[in-house]
Structure 1
């Protein structure tokens, strides 16, 4: 009986040990689990961190003959000597756009100057090498040399991987949404012009350039707005050589703001106009750069040698909130030198403009609407 009891006791011990072993196998490895949890938290923190990006734009690239003839080389045209002084300004934004006002149809169809522009294509590849990632093609000179020049320019853009907006091959091209994503911030871009210097849009090419049509703009903005975080619109508007926005600009800016546009970059006056912020009752705000002036041109009227690199910052918080802030224009100055029209950071140029303006005066002019 004692032997039987002893056998049973030993069996019970063995069963307990097996049960414990089985239980241990099913228990989680707490040390390993804590490491996994820590890693997941680190990943989540990385995914949800706050990011700030800088969007940028430059004004009119309008190449008169007196500009491009000084850029001619044995192998074509080279504008880099005219632009290299502002390379740090151009490469600073995370996304930079440029208003290519004179259509770069290239030498094969004959270069031309005012009043019907056609420019060397090298200007675009040179700008690209300095940081420009999208060109704006909606302006009053878009149709100067007809559809042929436009098609040649767009083919060149495709060849070098330069995106464009405001000028299109056809309806399908126009319907292609222009969106970029930087640091998890999605940006949509549209562009429009008030007209084409009286040149009618050719039959069968009704979508070749986007004209300012408030109803069409509202439809375009509505379609794109739902897909992006930040809505940007370029407007070719206003009166040439006027340093203040006119009533039409202000009215259109209000309409764009109500439609949901976040940032407006203006072109056409060829001189800098102030920055403003429009506040809607809904809480929506729109930052308006009424005119970015000339970035590179051969114009000699007062203030037309002054342009700038416009920048504005977009902050996306960890919970997805967006804040658009810190608008600025860093003034630039075009100086006619022996070997070309050279663009300088105004502050570093140590020279006054044609109009006699100083750096301090230009800064005050562009920022004065923002000063309380």
Structure 2
């Protein structure tokens, strides 16, 4: 059985309801409320140098053709769920409000799903989801509160958003085979950013645009964990090369102590490599998505201690159901080469610097 079954949540970023936001049902109490700024630094755990494999998928939602997948949540992600479930820790971006309530926000596209979406996430072997994206509040703060409540009820850890700014930026800390893994998430999308950002007593998401706060969040995660992962929502849609904002922000996060930086949003793959000793995969594209047939896949990142020892893309394409369909043979080899070639415009190295 996958090692994730033994994962212990040391910090689940789900807290009590904010005043003035009607809840569909009372939010269950959190396992532990993260308060990174109040936590004392910790020493490396005895198992800090154990070898782990982390798996990442890109954007996931259940809208239009993918909505039908929730009729059978156990198989909603398709056969590639095995690549997620087989890792020690698996993470995706959940790009939807999980609610039946709320009012659509003033924007072009709106995504939402019923609470069974969390069953699909768990059935796929996903251990945590980012909600730091430009669709989490598609149905306002009422819908966002439902998303937080639904995640708590289903036992799905979330990061990158919360009922206050402290929760939104606090690391989710999970213990995986004795290794403390801290995950933080930020959105670098402009649309409605000012109205969707979390505040001192206002639910919302963590923004990359507040660079000092994001950097402090990574430093706080560094103090509390053996391995620090950042999952960003960033990039220019349909552009396979990272933009200047991505590169600048990645450098700030690496300098703050991030061990790996993973991204999504552009709907296409973007390249990977090393920024000093920090592994960066700028964009994983879509994963379970309602349109398109672009390259996608599961990114498997192998680590020992703080060092990324290797990474590989299990290549796939979005199928007619909206699920990722694994490629094989020559098609898989060609997709892997296309992914490798994307490094050319990233400014990243093919390997970390020699010790």
Same fold (TM over 0.5): yes
Structure 2 residue runs of 5 or longer lacking an equivalent are 1-45, 344-348
**2:326 aligned residue (342, 345, 352):** 345
Which has more helix, going by share of residues? 1
Aligned to 1:162: 156
Aligned to 1:131: 125
**1:232 aligned residue (229, 232, 254):** 229
TM-score norm. by structure 2 comes to 0.76
**In structure 2, do the counterparts of structure 1 residues 49 and 125 end up closer, same or farther at CA, with 3 Å as the change threshold?**
closer
Counterpart mapping for 1:177-256 below 5 A: 177-195=171-189, 197-198=191-192, 200-201=194-195, 206-212=202-208, 213-256=210-253
Deviations along 1:208-239, whole A, 9 cap, x unmatched? 11011211111111112111111111111110
Once residues 359 and 111 of structure 1 are traced to their aligned partners in structure 2, the CA distance between those partners, rounded to angstroms, is: 40
User: Are residues 1:361 and 2:345 paired?
Assistant: no
Aligned to 1:307: 296
| Structure number with bigger Rg | 1
Residues 242-251 or 111-120, more deviating:
111-120
Once residues 63 and 196 of structure 1 are traced to their aligned partners in structure 2, the CA distance between those partners, rounded to angstroms, is: 23
Once residues 47 and 258 of structure 2 are traced to their aligned partners in structure 1, the CA distance between those partners, rounded to angstroms, is: 26
**In structure 2, do the counterparts of structure 1 residues 250 and 200 end up closer, same or farther at CA, with 3 Å as the change threshold?**
closer
**1:291 aligned residue (283, 290, 314):** 283
Deviations along 1:18-42, whole A, 9 cap, x unmatched? xxxxxxxxxxxxxxxxxxxxxxxxx
Once residues 48 and 177 of structure 1 are traced to their aligned partners in structure 2, the CA distance between those partners, rounded to angstroms, is: 20
Aligned to 2:34: none
Once residues 297 and 175 of structure 1 are traced to their aligned partners in structure 2, the CA distance between those partners, rounded to angstroms, is: 27
TM-score norm. by structure 1 comes to 0.72
Aligned to 1:23: none
Once residues 205 and 61 of structure 1 are traced to their aligned partners in structure 2, the CA distance between those partners, rounded to angstroms, is: 28
Structure 1 residue runs of 5 or longer lacking an equivalent are 1-46, 280-284, 317-321, 351-357
Alpha carbon RMSD of aligned pairs, Å? 2.7
